[in-house]
Structure 1
Amino acid sequence: MSPEYKCFRKDRSNSNIECVMGGGVLIAVRKDIDGDEFFMDETKDLEAICVRVSLTNSSLYLNCLYIQPTAPIETYIDHLRAIDKIEDSMSLGDISLYCGDWNLPNTKWINDEDGLGLMPIIGDSECAKAIVTRRVTDHLLNRGSSQLCNLTNKYGNVLDLIHTNMPELSLVEKADMLIIPEEISDAAHVQIAVTIECEPALGNSNTSTKSINCFKKANFEEMRNFFGAIDYSYLYNMLDINEMVDSLYAILYDAIDKFVPKASIRSNNKPIWYDNKLTNLKNVMSRQYKKLGNKPKVNRDADEGDFKRAQADFCEYQKIHYHEHIKDISNCSKSDPKRFWKYINGKRTSNTIPKKLSYEGTTVTEDREKAKMFANFFSSV
């Protein structure tokens, strides 16, 4: 496992599964993303684990599970109880993602009326697996979760299911980058890539963090004692003035490091007018683009209309919202000049003086001549 990830795991030895070969479930979360295990008594004896990831304004509940092919219906009910516990703990706007091998073969999946999720075709069979499949799908549908995976294995079965309450922001496809080479991977399973559009609280590529000294919380009394205890006489023995200055600064920086705490400031690199609605429109546009595949000619069944409509919605709202922002900046030039000039300075690409200056037909390149030209220009203002 890469050291860049936190590993949350439930080994088979810690569950009530009797099979000893392989097994276990694992969720890896990048270390710069805020995620912790969501503990439940309901999963104590199950091969399942849940991690709650903090998003900017909500949470993502990621649940991974495995159910044996010979598991009785009681095991499925226990897993559904665990899902109920997750759902009951969620707040408005939270996202749930339930992934795993449910081992429900001989079930066909078709698009639902909205085209966002899949509905099972089970028939009227009264066999044990059919009864379990109906119970599981009905329970999750009643909880507002849609099933998104229709990738069949070598034997034509869909064993690995993906349920989420946000199908409109999700995309399920066969993984391009395989963790396990196909020649040695389990033929009963397809390696799946799931993309869900959300913004983690940490690790956002649009944000940066810098550390600064917080002098408001500095211990100035200890700093004063620190300076008072130093014998500065050795500075007078230095013949080089630059060496004396460097030594004095070294003392100052040492005091700052010891007595002034540091604070982290996160800055967002997105434009100030970039709001949540625009982010959501961009996410929808990206999801529609991914559905097209790498190129429309590769995916002949792809409908470019959905992507073009999402792209048009994004571009139209971005244009309108940007012009509203510029209008607002213009209107505040007198009432709030600081804000106005902050915007103007932010548009500047350089603070250097041009190499050439021209005024009234005269062009100069020397700094002294540039200064005279500025003086002449502003003397008439």
Structure 2
Amino acid sequence: MSTGRYPNRLKIAIIAPIFKSGDCTNPRYYRPISTLSVFNNFLIYIPPDKSRDVVFMEDHIATVRELSVSANSEAIILACGDYNQPRLAWSNDDNSLRLDNPILLTPASAALIDGMDFLNMNQINAQLNHLRRTLDLVFLTEGSHASHEVLTAVDSLVSVDPHHPPLTIRFNAPAKSVTSLPVGNVEERKINYRKIDFDSLSAHLSGSDWSCIYDCTNVHDMAFKFCDIIRQWLIANVPLKRCPISPPWSTPLLRRAKRVRNQWQRRMRTHRSNFTKVNFKHASDDYRHLNAALYKSHVLRVQFGLRRDPKSFWSFVNSKRKNPIVSSNLVYEDKESSDEAVACDFFARHFASEPSSDSDAELAASNIVADAVDLDTFEILPAMIIHASKKLKNSFSPGPDGIPASVFCRCIIAVAEPLAFIFRHSFERGVFPMCWKESYMLPVHKSGDRRNVKNYRGITSLPAASKIFEIIVSVQILHATKSHISSDQHGFIPGRSVSTNLLDFTSTCRSFRTKGTGRRDLHRPKGSL
């Protein structure tokens, strides 16, 4: 600081583009943000007169907890600073630090250790000062993939304090590459599709000029321009997402209690007296008790909402799990990697190596009765599209084409005519649009080692428009071949499932038992496909 220079090695930052609004293909509609560190660093100083205050220490633990909750689930949390706890002594034990003489801890020290242990944070600093004590503690998230090392700094930025020797904390963590940021799909991560103004969107789509689609001769260009028009109006009628600044169980009463606690804390810092200390303690207790009660109510509400909203329940369960859905270090065919691009290649090769069902499809096609399906006179009408859209799930997650299914569920009347035009040309020419062939392949763990790619199965997320096309064609094929399908067929038949199959089987068994017809070969099917 005395030289007026800042070290060059501390000036390094990662610049990432963030979409604001307007045309997502224009660089002028992006703003830059800089990331100065890949870690979430919390610098702490506990004054000597507060080092024995249990309430103050518990409030500090609560603050660290709130900051860690707001951080990314995969982030590395680092809390370091002068805690003024001279009775805490540490010793090395199997490449980790162990607390010596825990019986001699003060209540404030015990609250600190218990709180950090509850947050799964370990103390990693073993450097001693000139009195053979460790006043500067460094807490790191337990189980983080970063290799760490705390050493005495050789070159300090300021004059050395013998009570607090300068420290160098080194990390070697796998950082995400900037090139892996989906810059082209930034709006998909920022737009809040649950807040779509469907009335305004439907009005804009109804007044849109679809002549660019009717003038096209290429089916691929038709579908691309159709999706591009919808995406442009989506950006204009959907607000951006706002990062939550409070936990999901927060209420206005809890936020007010937090503000009151912070006010008394500031007063206690400037005007130290028994009056401010007592009021700060009461405000802290009120906030802590109210927060615990609201959190308990939130957990019960999520549990009882399992049948009503199972998606929210499992999202809450997954947020509390320590193990990620996909391991950060994957193994495939004796190769191991933690890089995201290599991991995607592992999954792509694994899913591509699964046995193809082409032979089964050819066998099934050979058993079809000749001339059972006649689609020469079949024509796709807008009414069919409107009827098929009612069978879609009202999902707000965008597909590979950037359009959520809720747009077709709520605005299908505005887009039925151009969509029918595209479907008719696609069906007549036998060409399916390329943009609707794309899908998201998501790996889902089955069982076994999470690091082994072969223990995952893939599920696909298809564009909503391709689902509508599939529903229309499948209904027509089912209607034409219904007379050739056995009455005992339950799979892939509307209104039938495994439950109806079991019900039919149970009813047949009970009827045989009631009639007393004796034994019968139940494995032999009554009909054939």
Q: Give the TM-score range, shorter chain.
A: 0.3 to 0.5
* TM-score between the two structures when normalised by the length of structure 1: 0.37
* TM-score between the two structures when normalised by the length of structure 2: 0.29
Give the structure with the higher percent strand: 1
Give the structure with the higher percent helix: 2
